[in-house]
Amino acid sequence: MHFQSSSPIVLLQLTLLGVLHAAKWTYSGPEGEHHWPKHYPYCGGAFQSPIDIRSELLRFDPTLRPIEVQNYNLSPNEQLTLGNNGHSVQISLPSKMHISSLPHRYTAAQLHFHWGSSNQPTGSEHTVNSKQYAAEMHVVHYNSDKYPNMSMAVDKSDGLAVLGVLIEVGEFNPAFEQFLRFVNGIKYRDQRVQISGFNIRALLPARLDEYYRYDGSLTTPPCYPSVLWTVFRNHVTISRKQFLSLATALYSSHAQDSSPVPLNGNYRKLQLAESRVVLVSFKEDDQSWINTGLLVPILVSSALGFVLLVSLLCCLLRQKRSAAEQDKSKRAAYNIGDRDECGSRV
């Protein structure tokens, strides 16, 4: 996750974070994620994100309240900064936006995205039972009850809260078009444009009461284990054209660089869950048998049972038909014999 904005306070935060992010890093190549721990020790430590949210990690927690977001519907008169920081597309958010349903007030700072490529449209960071989605949005908040700004909160164990939204390619999403239509203005690293405010809530799933919750980290250097993760159970959709506007229109290099480097596949590989538990705010349907080796035996047994039932019905019908024919034959023989004894013609 990356933190930048045009306001003086957040510019100061960016300057401080620039020191933390001094070493160059990428998702692949010589500065790829396998080399992150050399310059950022936390990247090789514990409580790292993202993870595969597997059924066996889940534990229902009835105390988890629906997520409540405040002031997410921004006026068109408000100006937001849309930027390309070389690692992602990012939108700065006003401090009046916050989450009110957590133990502390968490104030919004920015949102950004991770996505795949046109050849491999699977780029979400979190996966659910090994299913990877096309993209993922992170809405980043910091604990403003305890810390005055992002730079002070970013490395604290209770410093950050991030809302994770899984994105699938499907129906056109008008909310995402509010900023995607401006991406040609930020094709290269460090380019920024101003866009009008819009309803950020519309970027989230309709239901905010169903989610996964666990303790994790930033998914980019310096990988501080300071994030309370909330990953929504229900995904949102964007059209293939909208997905391609992310996957094919942007570069992680500067405009003046002689060899432009495409900006795609910007997601971190899965990290070990280790001893962590993922709390869930909902009771999953009991479909665990679908993910085990029981499905095939159940289907085979059902098919055999159906065949046996059909065979039994056919046998009963044959017996009934045979009995009916025998009864008919007896009646016919009786009638014929009766006429003969009476001298009737045969």
Question: What is the SS3 assignment for 272?
Answer: coil
pLDDT band at 23 (very low <50, low <70, confident <90, very high): confident
Q: Is residue 70 within 8 Å of residue 293, measured between CB atoms?
A: no
The answer to whether residue 169 scores a pLDDT higher than 60 is yes
Q: Which of 198, 220, 208 is nearest to 165 (CA)?
A: 208
CB atoms within 10 A of CB 74: 20
* Choice between 314 and 194, residue whose per-residue pLDDT is larger: 194
Q: Is it true that domain 8-285 has CATH number 1.10.357.10? A: no
Question: What is the SS3 assignment for 114?
Answer: strand
Question: What is the SS3 assignment for 98?
Answer: strand
Provide φ and ψ at 331, rounded to 5°. Answer: -65, -40
Q: pLDDT digits over 97-130, tens only?
A: 999 999 999 999 999 999 999 999 999 999 999 9
Q: Which of 83, 81, 204 is nearest to 139 (CA)?
A: 204
Q: Which of 146, 328, 172 is nearest to 228 (CA)?
A: 146
Provide mean pLDDT across the span 20-33.
82
Instruction: Give domain limits for the chain.
Output: 8-285, 293-346
The answer to whether residue 344 scores a pLDDT higher than 80 is no
Q: What is the per-residue pLDDT for 338?
A: 45
Provide mean pLDDT across the span 301-329.
63
Q: Is the pTM of this model over 0.75?
A: yes
Provide mean pLDDT across the span 203-216.
98
Cα–Cα distance measured from residue 129 to residue 55, given in angstroms and rounded to the nearest whole number: 7
Map tokens 């105390």 to a residue. 63
Q: pLDDT digits over 52-98, tens only?
A: 999 999 999 999 999 999 999 999 999 999 999 999 999 999 999 99
* H-run or E-run covering 79: strand 79-84
Map tokens 């949210």 to a residue. 53
Provide mean pLDDT across the span 327-342.
46
Catalytic residue among 87, 104, 112, 235: 87
The answer to whether residue 135 scores a pLDDT higher than 60 is yes
pLDDT band at 329 (very low <50, low <70, confident <90, very high): low
Q: Which of 228, 232, 203, 209 is nearest to 218 (CA)?
A: 228
Residue 87 annotated to the active site? yes
